[in-house]
Structure 1
Amino acid sequence: MVNDRDDLLPVNGSALTAHPQLDTAVRRFSSLYGLDYVDDRKVGAMLVERQADIRRTSFGALVWISSLVGTAGFTWFLWAGLSKPENIAVAIGPPAALIVLAVVGFVRVYRQGKRKLRHPHLEGYRYVLAAALAHGVPVTHIPDWLTGRNGSGEGAAALPSYAAPVGSQAHGGAQHAFSRAGASAPLPPKPQAVAEYERMVDQGGSHDEIGCLLVIGAAVGVGTGFTKDMPVAFAAGILAPVAIWFWVAGYRLGKRKSALEARAREYVQQLTAAQAAGAVVPELSPQLRKLLNAP
Protein backbone atom coordinates (compact mmCIF):
# COMPACT_ATOMS: atom_id res chain seq x y z
CA MET A 1 0.00 0.00 0.00
CA VAL A 2 1.19 3.51 -0.69
CA ASN A 3 1.70 6.19 1.89
CA ASP A 4 0.32 9.65 1.18
CA ARG A 5 1.73 11.26 4.32
CA ASP A 6 4.49 13.83 4.47
CA ASP A 7 6.26 11.99 7.30
CA LEU A 8 8.64 9.09 6.97
CA LEU A 9 7.13 5.88 8.34
CA PRO A 10 9.29 3.63 10.54
CA VAL A 11 8.62 0.79 8.09
CA ASN A 12 6.31 0.46 5.10
CA GLY A 13 4.03 -2.31 3.94
CA SER A 14 6.40 -3.38 1.15
CA ALA A 15 9.06 -4.30 3.70
CA LEU A 16 6.60 -6.04 6.01
CA THR A 17 5.15 -8.24 3.27
CA ALA A 18 8.51 -9.11 1.66
CA HIS A 19 9.28 -11.60 4.44
CA PRO A 20 6.75 -14.48 4.61
CA GLN A 21 7.06 -15.18 8.34
CA LEU A 22 6.95 -11.47 9.17
CA ASP A 23 3.96 -10.98 6.89
CA THR A 24 2.11 -13.69 8.79
CA ALA A 25 2.99 -12.15 12.15
CA VAL A 26 1.95 -8.65 11.05
CA ARG A 27 -1.39 -9.87 9.74
CA ARG A 28 -1.95 -11.63 13.06
CA PHE A 29 -1.27 -8.35 14.89
CA SER A 30 -3.59 -6.56 12.46
CA SER A 31 -6.40 -8.94 13.30
CA LEU A 32 -5.70 -8.79 17.03
CA TYR A 33 -5.47 -4.98 17.34
CA GLY A 34 -7.99 -3.98 14.68
CA LEU A 35 -5.76 -2.11 12.19
CA ASP A 36 -4.24 -3.19 8.88
CA TYR A 37 -0.56 -2.56 9.58
CA VAL A 38 0.52 -3.27 6.00
CA ASP A 39 -1.66 -0.41 4.75
CA ASP A 40 0.67 2.58 4.87
CA ARG A 41 -2.17 5.05 4.44
CA LYS A 42 -4.06 3.72 7.46
CA VAL A 43 -0.92 3.44 9.56
CA GLY A 44 0.15 6.96 8.66
CA ALA A 45 -3.24 8.41 9.54
CA MET A 46 -3.26 6.47 12.81
CA LEU A 47 0.17 7.79 13.81
CA VAL A 48 -0.85 11.38 13.06
CA GLU A 49 -4.05 11.00 15.07
CA ARG A 50 -2.42 9.30 18.06
CA GLN A 51 0.50 11.76 18.18
CA ALA A 52 -1.88 14.72 18.09
CA ASP A 53 -3.94 13.16 20.89
CA ILE A 54 -0.83 12.66 23.05
CA ARG A 55 0.35 16.20 22.38
CA ARG A 56 -3.04 17.58 23.41
CA THR A 57 -2.63 15.80 26.72
CA SER A 58 1.01 16.81 27.24
CA PHE A 59 0.43 20.48 26.40
CA GLY A 60 -3.24 20.86 27.26
CA ALA A 61 -5.15 23.12 29.61
CA LEU A 62 -4.55 20.94 32.66
CA VAL A 63 -0.78 21.32 32.26
CA TRP A 64 -1.03 25.11 32.09
CA ILE A 65 -3.47 25.32 34.99
CA SER A 66 -1.32 23.05 37.14
CA SER A 67 1.77 25.10 36.29
CA LEU A 68 0.06 28.37 37.22
CA VAL A 69 -1.40 26.95 40.43
CA GLY A 70 1.94 25.43 41.40
CA THR A 71 3.83 28.67 40.72
CA ALA A 72 1.32 30.70 42.71
CA GLY A 73 1.38 28.21 45.57
CA PHE A 74 5.16 28.05 45.72
CA THR A 75 5.49 31.85 45.62
CA TRP A 76 2.83 32.26 48.31
CA PHE A 77 4.51 29.54 50.40
CA LEU A 78 7.87 31.35 50.30
CA TRP A 79 6.28 34.70 51.10
CA ALA A 80 4.33 33.22 54.00
CA GLY A 81 7.37 31.49 55.42
CA LEU A 82 9.66 34.52 55.15
CA SER A 83 7.16 36.98 56.62
CA LYS A 84 7.50 35.37 60.08
CA PRO A 85 3.78 34.89 60.80
CA GLU A 86 2.48 34.30 64.31
CA ASN A 87 0.86 31.02 63.32
CA ILE A 88 3.05 29.34 60.71
CA ALA A 89 0.60 26.47 60.15
CA VAL A 90 -2.25 28.81 59.27
CA ALA A 91 0.00 30.94 57.07
CA ILE A 92 1.42 28.13 54.93
CA GLY A 93 -1.73 25.99 54.82
CA PRO A 94 -3.42 27.61 51.79
CA PRO A 95 -0.29 27.75 49.60
CA ALA A 96 0.58 24.18 50.56
CA ALA A 97 -2.89 23.15 49.40
CA LEU A 98 -2.27 24.86 46.04
CA ILE A 99 1.02 23.00 45.66
CA VAL A 100 -0.72 19.70 46.39
CA LEU A 101 -3.40 20.50 43.79
CA ALA A 102 -0.71 21.26 41.20
CA VAL A 103 1.03 17.94 41.94
CA VAL A 104 -2.28 16.11 41.60
CA GLY A 105 -2.83 17.81 38.24
CA PHE A 106 0.60 16.80 36.93
CA VAL A 107 0.10 13.21 38.11
CA ARG A 108 -3.23 13.11 36.30
CA VAL A 109 -1.59 14.38 33.10
CA TYR A 110 1.15 11.75 33.41
CA ARG A 111 -1.37 8.95 33.85
CA GLN A 112 -3.46 10.19 30.94
CA GLY A 113 -0.36 10.28 28.76
CA LYS A 114 0.58 6.71 29.69
CA ARG A 115 -2.97 5.54 29.01
CA LYS A 116 -2.96 7.15 25.56
CA LEU A 117 0.39 5.51 24.80
CA ARG A 118 -1.29 2.17 25.53
CA HIS A 119 -3.92 2.70 22.84
CA PRO A 120 -4.51 -0.69 21.13
CA HIS A 121 -3.40 0.58 17.71
CA LEU A 122 -0.11 1.84 19.18
CA GLU A 123 0.37 -1.34 21.19
CA GLY A 124 -0.03 -3.37 18.03
CA TYR A 125 2.30 -1.13 16.05
CA ARG A 126 5.04 -1.49 18.63
CA TYR A 127 4.70 -5.26 18.26
CA VAL A 128 4.96 -4.82 14.48
CA LEU A 129 8.19 -2.85 14.84
CA ALA A 130 9.60 -5.35 17.33
CA ALA A 131 8.78 -8.20 14.94
CA ALA A 132 10.31 -6.30 12.02
CA LEU A 133 13.55 -5.79 13.90
CA ALA A 134 13.61 -9.44 14.97
CA HIS A 135 13.30 -10.54 11.33
CA GLY A 136 16.04 -8.18 10.17
CA VAL A 137 13.76 -5.68 8.47
CA PRO A 138 15.31 -2.20 8.26
CA VAL A 139 13.36 0.22 10.48
CA THR A 140 14.16 3.80 9.51
CA HIS A 141 13.53 5.29 12.96
CA ILE A 142 11.37 4.86 16.04
CA PRO A 143 9.72 8.17 17.00
CA ASP A 144 10.41 9.19 20.57
CA TRP A 145 6.74 9.96 21.21
CA LEU A 146 5.73 6.43 20.16
CA THR A 147 7.66 4.89 23.06
CA GLY A 148 7.16 7.79 25.48
CA ARG A 149 10.87 8.49 25.38
CA ASN A 150 12.00 11.84 26.71
CA GLY A 151 15.76 12.19 26.57
CA SER A 152 17.70 9.08 27.54
CA GLY A 153 16.23 5.78 28.64
CA GLU A 154 13.72 3.36 27.15
CA GLY A 155 10.58 5.40 27.70
CA ALA A 156 7.19 4.67 29.24
CA ALA A 157 6.13 2.34 26.40
CA ALA A 158 9.24 0.62 25.07
CA LEU A 159 9.08 -1.88 22.22
CA PRO A 160 8.08 -5.32 23.51
CA SER A 161 10.41 -8.26 23.25
CA TYR A 162 9.84 -10.45 20.21
CA ALA A 163 11.77 -13.47 19.00
CA ALA A 164 11.60 -14.52 15.36
CA PRO A 165 10.36 -18.11 14.93
CA VAL A 166 12.93 -20.85 14.44
CA GLY A 167 13.61 -21.32 10.75
CA SER A 168 12.85 -17.69 9.97
CA GLN A 169 14.71 -16.29 6.98
CA ALA A 170 18.25 -15.18 7.81
CA HIS A 171 19.11 -11.54 7.71
CA GLY A 172 21.05 -11.89 4.48
CA GLY A 173 18.15 -13.55 2.69
CA ALA A 174 15.77 -11.06 4.23
CA GLN A 175 17.79 -8.15 2.89
CA HIS A 176 17.67 -9.77 -0.55
CA ALA A 177 13.88 -10.01 -0.30
CA PHE A 178 13.65 -6.39 0.77
CA SER A 179 15.84 -5.35 -2.15
CA ARG A 180 13.43 -7.09 -4.52
CA ALA A 181 10.46 -5.49 -2.78
CA GLY A 182 11.87 -2.00 -3.21
CA ALA A 183 13.38 -2.49 -6.66
CA SER A 184 10.53 -0.64 -8.36
CA ALA A 185 11.26 2.51 -6.35
CA PRO A 186 15.00 3.18 -6.03
CA LEU A 187 16.31 5.18 -3.10
CA PRO A 188 17.80 8.62 -3.75
CA PRO A 189 21.58 8.82 -3.29
CA LYS A 190 22.74 10.55 -0.14
CA PRO A 191 24.14 14.00 -1.06
CA GLN A 192 27.57 14.99 0.17
CA ALA A 193 25.98 17.86 2.07
CA VAL A 194 23.94 15.39 4.14
CA ALA A 195 27.03 13.37 4.97
CA GLU A 196 28.73 16.60 6.04
CA TYR A 197 25.70 17.49 8.19
CA GLU A 198 25.93 14.13 9.95
CA ARG A 199 29.62 14.73 10.68
CA MET A 200 29.42 18.28 11.99
CA VAL A 201 25.93 18.69 13.50
CA ASP A 202 27.15 17.84 17.00
CA GLN A 203 30.35 19.86 16.75
CA GLY A 204 30.92 23.30 18.24
CA GLY A 205 28.19 25.22 19.96
CA SER A 206 30.27 26.95 22.65
CA HIS A 207 31.59 29.88 20.65
CA ASP A 208 29.24 32.40 22.28
CA GLU A 209 30.15 31.29 25.79
CA ILE A 210 33.88 31.36 25.09
CA GLY A 211 33.57 34.79 23.49
CA CYS A 212 31.73 36.16 26.53
CA LEU A 213 34.36 34.76 28.91
CA LEU A 214 37.13 36.34 26.83
CA VAL A 215 35.36 39.73 26.86
CA ILE A 216 34.95 39.50 30.64
CA GLY A 217 38.62 38.61 30.96
CA ALA A 218 39.58 41.59 28.80
CA ALA A 219 37.36 43.94 30.82
CA VAL A 220 38.74 42.68 34.13
CA GLY A 221 42.30 43.03 32.89
CA VAL A 222 41.85 46.55 31.55
CA GLY A 223 39.92 47.56 34.66
CA THR A 224 42.71 46.24 36.85
CA GLY A 225 45.22 48.20 34.80
CA PHE A 226 43.34 51.44 35.48
CA THR A 227 42.52 50.89 39.15
CA LYS A 228 45.77 49.27 40.26
CA ASP A 229 48.08 51.23 37.98
CA MET A 230 49.41 48.02 36.44
CA PRO A 231 50.35 48.66 32.79
CA VAL A 232 50.97 44.96 32.19
CA ALA A 233 47.30 44.26 32.88
CA PHE A 234 46.33 46.21 29.74
CA ALA A 235 47.69 43.25 27.75
CA ALA A 236 44.42 41.47 28.58
CA GLY A 237 42.77 43.80 26.06
CA ILE A 238 44.02 41.48 23.32
CA LEU A 239 41.35 39.03 24.45
CA ALA A 240 38.66 41.30 22.99
CA PRO A 241 39.58 40.75 19.30
CA VAL A 242 40.01 37.04 20.07
CA ALA A 243 36.44 37.03 21.43
CA ILE A 244 35.22 38.71 18.25
CA TRP A 245 36.99 36.03 16.21
CA PHE A 246 35.19 33.32 18.23
CA TRP A 247 31.83 35.03 17.69
CA VAL A 248 32.38 35.35 13.96
CA ALA A 249 33.50 31.70 13.74
CA GLY A 250 30.43 30.62 15.69
CA TYR A 251 28.15 32.66 13.44
CA ARG A 252 29.67 31.12 10.31
CA LEU A 253 29.43 27.62 11.77
CA GLY A 254 25.79 28.15 12.73
CA LYS A 255 24.97 29.49 9.28
CA ARG A 256 26.67 26.50 7.67
CA LYS A 257 24.80 24.08 9.93
CA SER A 258 21.48 25.73 9.04
CA ALA A 259 22.19 25.33 5.33
CA LEU A 260 23.21 21.69 5.78
CA GLU A 261 20.14 21.00 7.94
CA ALA A 262 17.93 22.29 5.13
CA ARG A 263 19.64 19.87 2.74
CA ALA A 264 19.21 17.05 5.24
CA ARG A 265 15.48 17.78 5.52
CA GLU A 266 15.21 17.77 1.72
CA TYR A 267 16.92 14.37 1.68
CA VAL A 268 14.48 13.01 4.27
CA GLN A 269 11.60 14.26 2.11
CA GLN A 270 13.12 12.44 -0.86
CA LEU A 271 13.31 9.26 1.22
CA THR A 272 9.69 9.78 2.22
CA ALA A 273 8.63 10.06 -1.42
CA ALA A 274 10.61 6.93 -2.30
CA GLN A 275 9.04 5.06 0.61
CA ALA A 276 5.57 6.17 -0.49
CA ALA A 277 6.36 4.69 -3.91
CA GLY A 278 7.20 1.34 -2.30
CA ALA A 279 10.94 1.58 -1.60
CA VAL A 280 12.35 0.00 1.54
CA VAL A 281 14.22 2.76 3.38
CA PRO A 282 17.16 1.64 5.54
CA GLU A 283 17.74 2.72 9.12
CA LEU A 284 18.58 6.40 9.36
CA SER A 285 21.72 7.71 11.01
CA PRO A 286 21.43 8.96 14.62
CA GLN A 287 21.75 12.55 13.35
CA LEU A 288 18.85 12.18 10.92
CA ARG A 289 16.75 10.36 13.52
CA LYS A 290 17.35 13.25 15.90
CA LEU A 291 16.29 15.65 13.15
CA LEU A 292 13.03 13.75 12.68
CA ASN A 293 12.33 13.81 16.43
CA ALA A 294 12.92 17.54 16.64
CA PRO A 295 9.73 19.59 17.16
Structure 2
Amino acid sequence: MNDNATGLLPVGARALSADPRLATAVRDVGRTYGYDYFDDETVGRTLAEHEAALRRLSRGGLVWAGSLATAVGIVWLVWAASGEPDNMAVAVTPPAVVLALALAAFVQVNLQGRRRLRHPFLEGYRHVLAAARAHGAPVSYVPAWLTGRGGAALDMAPLPSYEAPAGGRSTSVAPPPKPPEVEEYERIADQGGWHDEAGWILVVAGAVGIGYAVVEDLPAAYASVLLIALGIWTWTAGHRLGRRQRELSGEARRYLDELTRAQAAGAPVHELSPPLRKLLDTRL
Protein backbone atom coordinates (compact mmCIF):
# COMPACT_ATOMS: atom_id res chain seq x y z
CA MET A 1 0.00 0.00 0.00
CA ASN A 2 1.05 3.59 -0.56
CA ASP A 3 1.29 6.18 2.15
CA ASN A 4 -2.37 7.07 1.76
CA ALA A 5 -5.57 5.48 0.55
CA THR A 6 -5.56 7.28 -2.77
CA GLY A 7 -1.96 6.32 -3.58
CA LEU A 8 -1.09 9.94 -4.31
CA LEU A 9 2.66 10.43 -3.93
CA PRO A 10 4.41 13.77 -3.44
CA VAL A 11 5.83 13.28 -6.92
CA GLY A 12 5.52 10.34 -9.29
CA ALA A 13 8.11 8.49 -11.33
CA ARG A 14 6.81 9.86 -14.62
CA ALA A 15 7.26 13.43 -13.40
CA LEU A 16 10.75 12.58 -12.19
CA SER A 17 11.58 11.11 -15.60
CA ALA A 18 10.06 13.88 -17.71
CA ASP A 19 13.13 16.11 -17.36
CA PRO A 20 16.42 14.32 -18.23
CA ARG A 21 18.36 16.56 -15.84
CA LEU A 22 16.01 15.72 -12.97
CA ALA A 23 16.09 12.02 -13.86
CA THR A 24 19.87 12.10 -13.69
CA ALA A 25 19.79 13.84 -10.32
CA VAL A 26 17.32 11.29 -8.93
CA ARG A 27 19.44 8.40 -10.20
CA ASP A 28 22.46 9.96 -8.49
CA VAL A 29 20.51 10.19 -5.23
CA GLY A 30 19.40 6.59 -5.63
CA ARG A 31 22.97 5.41 -6.11
CA THR A 32 24.12 7.41 -3.09
CA TYR A 33 21.49 6.05 -0.72
CA GLY A 34 20.91 2.66 -2.33
CA TYR A 35 17.23 2.97 -3.33
CA ASP A 36 15.25 3.17 -6.55
CA TYR A 37 13.12 6.29 -6.25
CA PHE A 38 11.54 5.67 -9.66
CA ASP A 39 9.63 2.65 -8.29
CA ASP A 40 6.36 4.29 -7.21
CA GLU A 41 4.95 1.18 -5.56
CA THR A 42 8.04 0.56 -3.45
CA VAL A 43 8.43 4.24 -2.60
CA GLY A 44 4.81 4.49 -1.48
CA ARG A 45 5.02 1.33 0.59
CA THR A 46 8.31 2.33 2.22
CA LEU A 47 7.03 5.81 3.04
CA ALA A 48 3.96 4.23 4.64
CA GLU A 49 6.13 1.92 6.75
CA HIS A 50 8.29 4.76 8.04
CA GLU A 51 5.28 6.96 8.75
CA ALA A 52 3.59 4.14 10.66
CA ALA A 53 6.75 3.63 12.72
CA LEU A 54 6.86 7.33 13.61
CA ARG A 55 3.18 7.30 14.52
CA ARG A 56 3.72 4.32 16.82
CA LEU A 57 6.62 6.13 18.46
CA SER A 58 4.56 9.29 19.00
CA ARG A 59 1.80 7.26 20.64
CA GLY A 60 3.94 4.67 22.38
CA GLY A 61 4.63 3.75 25.96
CA LEU A 62 7.28 6.41 26.56
CA VAL A 63 4.86 9.16 25.56
CA TRP A 64 2.13 7.79 27.82
CA ALA A 65 4.56 7.35 30.68
CA GLY A 66 5.93 10.87 30.22
CA SER A 67 2.43 12.37 30.10
CA LEU A 68 1.34 10.49 33.23
CA ALA A 69 4.52 11.44 35.06
CA THR A 70 4.02 15.08 34.09
CA ALA A 71 0.47 15.15 35.45
CA VAL A 72 1.48 13.37 38.66
CA GLY A 73 4.53 15.57 39.13
CA ILE A 74 2.63 18.83 38.69
CA VAL A 75 -0.18 17.82 41.07
CA TRP A 76 2.32 16.54 43.62
CA LEU A 77 4.43 19.68 43.34
CA VAL A 78 1.44 21.99 43.84
CA TRP A 79 0.22 19.92 46.78
CA ALA A 80 3.67 19.85 48.39
CA ALA A 81 4.23 23.58 47.95
CA SER A 82 0.78 24.57 49.18
CA GLY A 83 1.21 22.65 52.45
CA GLU A 84 3.71 25.22 53.75
CA PRO A 85 6.30 22.57 54.72
CA ASP A 86 9.10 23.32 57.14
CA ASN A 87 11.69 22.42 54.52
CA MET A 88 10.47 23.43 51.07
CA ALA A 89 13.45 21.89 49.28
CA VAL A 90 12.81 18.48 50.79
CA ALA A 91 9.09 18.70 50.05
CA VAL A 92 9.41 19.58 46.37
CA THR A 93 12.33 17.28 45.56
CA PRO A 94 10.27 14.08 44.95
CA PRO A 95 7.81 15.71 42.52
CA ALA A 96 10.69 17.52 40.86
CA VAL A 97 12.37 14.15 40.28
CA VAL A 98 9.13 12.81 38.75
CA LEU A 99 8.99 15.83 36.42
CA ALA A 100 12.64 15.31 35.48
CA LEU A 101 11.87 11.68 34.58
CA ALA A 102 8.94 12.86 32.45
CA LEU A 103 11.22 15.29 30.63
CA ALA A 104 13.76 12.54 30.08
CA ALA A 105 11.06 10.34 28.53
CA PHE A 106 10.04 13.09 26.09
CA VAL A 107 13.67 13.80 25.21
CA GLN A 108 14.20 10.11 24.49
CA VAL A 109 11.14 10.05 22.21
CA ASN A 110 12.47 13.11 20.39
CA LEU A 111 15.89 11.52 19.91
CA GLN A 112 14.37 8.30 18.62
CA GLY A 113 12.21 10.28 16.20
CA ARG A 114 15.22 12.17 14.89
CA ARG A 115 17.11 8.90 14.36
CA ARG A 116 14.18 7.46 12.42
CA LEU A 117 14.00 10.59 10.26
CA ARG A 118 17.68 10.15 9.41
CA HIS A 119 17.07 6.74 7.85
CA PRO A 120 18.93 6.58 4.51
CA PHE A 121 15.72 6.07 2.51
CA LEU A 122 14.11 9.18 4.01
CA GLU A 123 17.31 11.20 3.65
CA GLY A 124 17.43 10.30 -0.02
CA TYR A 125 13.74 10.98 -0.58
CA ARG A 126 14.07 14.47 0.86
CA HIS A 127 16.85 15.06 -1.67
CA VAL A 128 14.55 13.76 -4.42
CA LEU A 129 11.78 16.18 -3.43
CA ALA A 130 14.25 19.07 -3.22
CA ALA A 131 15.61 18.24 -6.67
CA ALA A 132 12.09 17.92 -8.09
CA ARG A 133 11.14 21.36 -6.82
CA ALA A 134 14.36 22.90 -8.08
CA HIS A 135 13.82 21.45 -11.56
CA GLY A 136 10.23 22.68 -11.66
CA ALA A 137 8.60 19.27 -11.31
CA PRO A 138 5.23 19.52 -9.55
CA VAL A 139 5.37 18.30 -5.95
CA SER A 140 1.81 17.80 -4.75
CA TYR A 141 2.74 17.93 -1.06
CA VAL A 142 5.61 17.40 1.34
CA PRO A 143 4.46 15.13 4.19
CA ALA A 144 4.78 16.94 7.50
CA TRP A 145 6.06 13.78 9.18
CA LEU A 146 8.84 13.44 6.58
CA THR A 147 10.39 16.73 7.68
CA GLY A 148 9.65 16.11 11.35
CA ARG A 149 7.21 18.97 11.65
CA GLY A 150 4.99 18.67 14.70
CA GLY A 151 3.73 21.56 16.76
CA ALA A 152 6.99 23.45 16.32
CA ALA A 153 7.45 26.03 13.61
CA LEU A 154 10.74 24.55 12.39
CA ASP A 155 11.30 21.18 10.75
CA MET A 156 13.65 18.72 12.42
CA ALA A 157 14.63 17.32 9.02
CA PRO A 158 13.90 19.96 6.36
CA LEU A 159 14.34 19.43 2.66
CA PRO A 160 17.96 20.13 1.69
CA SER A 161 18.78 23.18 -0.39
CA TYR A 162 19.15 22.49 -4.09
CA GLU A 163 20.25 24.98 -6.70
CA ALA A 164 17.65 25.38 -9.42
CA PRO A 165 19.12 24.74 -12.88
CA ALA A 166 18.45 26.96 -15.86
CA GLY A 167 15.80 25.95 -18.34
CA GLY A 168 12.30 24.59 -18.02
CA ARG A 169 10.41 21.37 -18.44
CA SER A 170 7.25 20.33 -20.19
CA THR A 171 4.81 17.45 -20.15
CA SER A 172 2.30 16.24 -22.70
CA VAL A 173 -0.18 15.00 -20.07
CA ALA A 174 -2.49 17.55 -18.47
CA PRO A 175 -3.81 17.20 -14.92
CA PRO A 176 -7.57 16.91 -14.46
CA PRO A 177 -9.41 20.22 -14.01
CA LYS A 178 -10.57 21.06 -10.53
CA PRO A 179 -14.39 20.81 -10.32
CA PRO A 180 -16.35 23.75 -8.84
CA GLU A 181 -17.52 21.46 -6.02
CA VAL A 182 -13.91 20.89 -4.98
CA GLU A 183 -13.20 24.62 -5.05
CA GLU A 184 -16.25 25.16 -2.83
CA TYR A 185 -15.01 22.45 -0.48
CA GLU A 186 -11.66 24.21 -0.20
CA ARG A 187 -13.47 27.44 0.74
CA ILE A 188 -15.72 25.97 3.44
CA ALA A 189 -13.77 22.95 4.70
CA ASP A 190 -12.29 24.81 7.67
CA GLN A 191 -15.40 26.78 8.54
CA GLY A 192 -17.61 25.90 11.48
CA GLY A 193 -16.70 23.78 14.45
CA TRP A 194 -18.04 26.33 16.91
CA HIS A 195 -21.78 26.09 16.23
CA ASP A 196 -22.57 23.44 18.84
CA GLU A 197 -20.74 25.25 21.63
CA ALA A 198 -22.15 28.64 20.70
CA GLY A 199 -25.64 27.18 20.37
CA TRP A 200 -25.49 25.62 23.82
CA ILE A 201 -24.21 28.83 25.38
CA LEU A 202 -26.98 30.89 23.81
CA VAL A 203 -29.71 28.43 24.79
CA VAL A 204 -28.46 28.17 28.37
CA ALA A 205 -28.14 31.96 28.62
CA GLY A 206 -31.68 32.33 27.30
CA ALA A 207 -33.03 29.76 29.73
CA VAL A 208 -31.30 31.49 32.63
CA GLY A 209 -32.81 34.79 31.52
CA ILE A 210 -36.30 33.35 31.37
CA GLY A 211 -35.82 31.75 34.76
CA TYR A 212 -34.74 35.10 36.15
CA ALA A 213 -37.80 36.74 34.61
CA VAL A 214 -40.10 34.22 36.28
CA VAL A 215 -38.44 34.38 39.70
CA GLU A 216 -38.04 38.16 39.81
CA ASP A 217 -41.28 38.89 37.95
CA LEU A 218 -39.35 40.99 35.45
CA PRO A 219 -41.18 40.94 32.10
CA ALA A 220 -38.34 42.62 30.24
CA ALA A 221 -36.13 39.61 30.94
CA TYR A 222 -38.44 37.47 28.81
CA ALA A 223 -36.66 39.02 25.84
CA SER A 224 -33.92 36.47 26.52
CA VAL A 225 -36.10 34.01 24.60
CA LEU A 226 -34.41 35.59 21.58
CA LEU A 227 -31.16 34.04 22.78
CA ILE A 228 -32.79 30.62 22.65
CA ALA A 229 -34.01 31.30 19.13
CA LEU A 230 -30.53 32.48 18.13
CA GLY A 231 -29.01 29.34 19.65
CA ILE A 232 -31.38 27.11 17.69
CA TRP A 233 -30.58 29.05 14.51
CA THR A 234 -26.87 28.59 15.21
CA TRP A 235 -27.33 24.84 15.60
CA THR A 236 -29.31 24.69 12.37
CA ALA A 237 -26.70 26.70 10.46
CA GLY A 238 -23.95 24.44 11.78
CA HIS A 239 -25.91 21.35 10.75
CA ARG A 240 -26.42 22.66 7.22
CA LEU A 241 -22.75 23.60 6.93
CA GLY A 242 -21.61 20.20 8.20
CA ARG A 243 -23.92 18.39 5.79
CA ARG A 244 -22.62 20.44 2.86
CA GLN A 245 -19.03 19.79 3.90
CA ARG A 246 -19.70 16.04 3.99
CA GLU A 247 -21.32 16.15 0.55
CA LEU A 248 -18.45 18.09 -0.96
CA SER A 249 -15.81 15.94 0.74
CA GLY A 250 -16.98 13.05 -1.41
CA GLU A 251 -16.32 15.13 -4.53
CA ALA A 252 -12.94 16.13 -3.14
CA ARG A 253 -12.00 12.49 -2.53
CA ARG A 254 -12.99 11.59 -6.09
CA TYR A 255 -10.82 14.46 -7.30
CA LEU A 256 -7.87 13.08 -5.32
CA ASP A 257 -8.46 9.72 -6.97
CA GLU A 258 -8.37 11.42 -10.37
CA LEU A 259 -5.13 13.14 -9.45
CA THR A 260 -3.65 9.80 -8.51
CA ARG A 261 -4.56 8.26 -11.86
CA ALA A 262 -3.30 11.34 -13.67
CA GLN A 263 -0.02 11.25 -11.76
CA ALA A 264 0.46 7.61 -12.74
CA ALA A 265 -0.05 8.66 -16.36
CA GLY A 266 2.63 11.32 -16.05
CA ALA A 267 0.53 14.42 -15.44
CA PRO A 268 1.96 17.09 -13.14
CA VAL A 269 0.16 17.27 -9.80
CA HIS A 270 0.77 20.66 -8.27
CA GLU A 271 0.85 21.34 -4.55
CA LEU A 272 -2.40 20.54 -2.82
CA SER A 273 -4.32 23.18 -0.91
CA PRO A 274 -4.39 22.80 2.91
CA PRO A 275 -8.00 21.46 2.95
CA LEU A 276 -7.16 18.81 0.34
CA ARG A 277 -3.93 17.95 2.14
CA LYS A 278 -5.86 17.52 5.39
CA LEU A 279 -8.41 15.35 3.62
CA LEU A 280 -5.59 13.25 2.22
CA ASP A 281 -4.14 12.83 5.72
CA THR A 282 -7.47 11.53 7.05
CA ARG A 283 -7.33 8.69 4.54
CA LEU A 284 -4.09 7.25 5.88
Normalising by the residue count of structure 1, what TM-score does the alignment of the two structures yield?
0.86
Unaligned 5+ segments in structure 2 are: none
Residues 211, 244 of structure 1: 8 Å contact kept: yes
For the structure 1 residues 144 and 4, does the alpha-carbon distance in structure 2 shift closer, same or farther, using more than 3 Å as the test? closer
Which aligned pairs between 1:87-236 and structure 2 lie closer than 5 A?
87-151=87-151, 153-165=153-165, 168-170=166-168, 174=169, 176=170, 179-180=171-172, 183=173, 187-236=175-224
Cα RMSD (Å) of the superposition? 2.3
Residues 147, 155 of structure 1: 8 Å contact kept: yes
3-state SS of paired residue (2:102) = helix
Residues 37, 125 of structure 2: 8 Å contact kept: yes
Name the count of aligned residue pairs: 281
The amino acid that maps onto 2:48 is V
CA distance in 2, matches of 1:229, 1:265: 57
User: What's the CA shift string for 1:37-88, capped at 9, x where partnerless?
Assistant: 1121221122112112211221111111222222222222222223344443
Identify the range of structure 1 (272-281 vs 21-30) with the bigger mean alpha-carbon deviation. 272-281
2:235 to 239, 244, 247: 247
3-state SS of paired residue (2:272) = coil
CA distance in 2, matches of 1:75, 1:213: 31
CA distance in 1, matches of 2:230, 2:240: 15
The amino acid that maps onto 1:95 is P
1:51 alignment partner in structure 2: 51
Any runs of at least 4 consecutive aligned residues in structure 1 with deviations exceeding 6 A, and if so which? none
State the shift of 1:108 in Å: 0.8
The amino acid that maps onto 1:29 is V
CA distance in 1, matches of 2:95, 2:154: 36
CA distance in 1, matches of 2:195, 2:76: 40
For the structure 1 residues 5 and 231, does the alpha-carbon distance in structure 2 shift closer, same or farther, using more than 3 Å as the test? closer
Percent identity, please.
52
State the shift of 1:162 in Å: 0.8
The amino acid that maps onto 2:26 is V
CA distance in 1, matches of 2:160, 2:79: 49
1:292 lines up with 2:280 in the alignment: yes
1:263 lines up with 2:263 in the alignment: no
For the structure 1 residues 78 and 134, does the alpha-carbon distance in structure 2 shift closer, same or farther, using more than 3 Å as the test? same
Normalising by the residue count of structure 2, what TM-score does the alignment of the two structures yield?
0.89
1:35 alignment partner in structure 2: 35
